Structure 1
């Protein structure tokens, strides 16, 4: 299971998933440029460049059944990465799991990355999910703010173009307190010929922080059923 992070996230964002995953699911967090073990690399501010980076990071590991998982920005990255994989290989993902990410065709154009640092931090507090110890610590914030802002810029560079739908099972999860509607999530059906499964969970946009076990349980159940049919 290749895990793609939310804006500002890194490979350590998926510790709960690694902890709870059953033995038959190998959790592989994907590290993006400019953070963690790749902190010395330049940040990418274009979502298509990020998707290419993910593709080149995992392309040599697609020789056995695999799935893509992404939260928020990671969900959009999973979608774009799957397109690159299908374009270049015949090895499609067994399943795609996306949390906290509206359908590509419903994304509103925004320019949050152009906000001043003060207004950008204020917006992050409104969105939630960023620990208070980061938001209230100037030194730590000086380190993370460029990373988060670059990721916002990358997401905001996305331009939707309708293409041939996937033939891949797609499971979507979102929080009850997110500013997202069922109809917006149902628009994901445009992107696959399979019936999508939408699961609503308690919490806000970062419900993944409280419900990692439940999310992995859903993933493991669905993947187990699919593997038995192979």
Structure 2
């Protein structure tokens, strides 16, 4: 029997924690899914946005302090992948417990990011074009003035988070890194495979049918892979490996 593992799941730009709620019913019982809500959306809609990457990572580490002390792994899609990476790097810098696995979905590696993409963070028309191109937004959102305004405000704030990210050197994380990617996502294979450079404890890359939101379009296969990769990173009967690695 496997020891319980907390899986902190970080949302993509413009989204809330609800994108992961269904995962609780599908992943194995030993995986305790914790959808992480960011300020300014969902249940935290009354809170001001955090629009700086390092400030967001610091805030998340403080808010999730208890979970980050135990047996845990990190999953993030798109912007969420960048936040998961930032959390892992901050834990390493503080000699704090590291994740047993780092799962990075739909995101180029830190050395391969396209910063120009976020330059139109204040242009509603360009943001709407982004939403349509990525294909993950229900049509009813575009038809509702209130919903599209809320979505654009969240997306613009999240683009500021992404724009403020800086990458000085490879992470050298002593943690297994598992990348997930969509075959029809315009992010090239080379840009995703560069995640290999960020870790020293093994790397995998799994491909799925679908565009940038393959996590939704091919969800059964994605969840099966998440469970398999977590099981590989935390074999049954393995000792607790959550202590910090110096």
TM-score (norm 1): 0.94
**Residue 76 and residue 56 in structure 1: after superposition, are their counterparts in 2 closer, same or farther (change >3 A)?**
same
Q: Are residue 80 (structure 1) and residue 86 (structure 2) matched? A: yes
Shift of residue 215, structure 1, vs aligned partner: 1.8
Cα pair 1:135 1:141 within 8 Å, conserved: yes
Q: How many residues align?
A: 230
- Aligned partner (choices 63, 77, 84) of residue 71 of structure 1: 77
For the residues of structure 2 that align with 1:83 and 1:190, how far apart are their CA atoms?
14
For the residues of structure 2 that align with 1:207 and 1:215, how far apart are their CA atoms?
8
Secondary structure of 1:56's counterpart equals helix
Q: Are residue 108 (structure 1) and residue 114 (structure 2) matched? A: yes
Which residue in 1 is equivalent to 2:235? 227
- Aligned partner (choices 115, 122, 128) of residue 135 of structure 2: 128
Q: Are residue 190 (structure 1) and residue 190 (structure 2) matched? A: no
The alignment yields a C-alpha RMSD, in angstroms, of 1.5
Q: Are residue 207 (structure 1) and residue 196 (structure 2) matched? A: no
Shift of residue 163, structure 1, vs aligned partner: 4.2
- Higher share in helix: 1
Instruction: Give unmatched runs, 5+ long, in structure 2.
Output: 1-6, 240-246
For the residues of structure 2 that align with 1:89 and 1:129, how far apart are their CA atoms?
37
Cα pair 1:47 1:158 within 8 Å, conserved: yes
Shift of residue 57, structure 1, vs aligned partner: 1.6
Which structure 1 residue ranges, 4+ long, deviate > 6 Å from structure 2?
none
TM-score (norm 2): 0.88
Structure 2 counterparts to residues 97-176 of structure 1, below 5 A? 97-110=103-116, 111-176=118-183
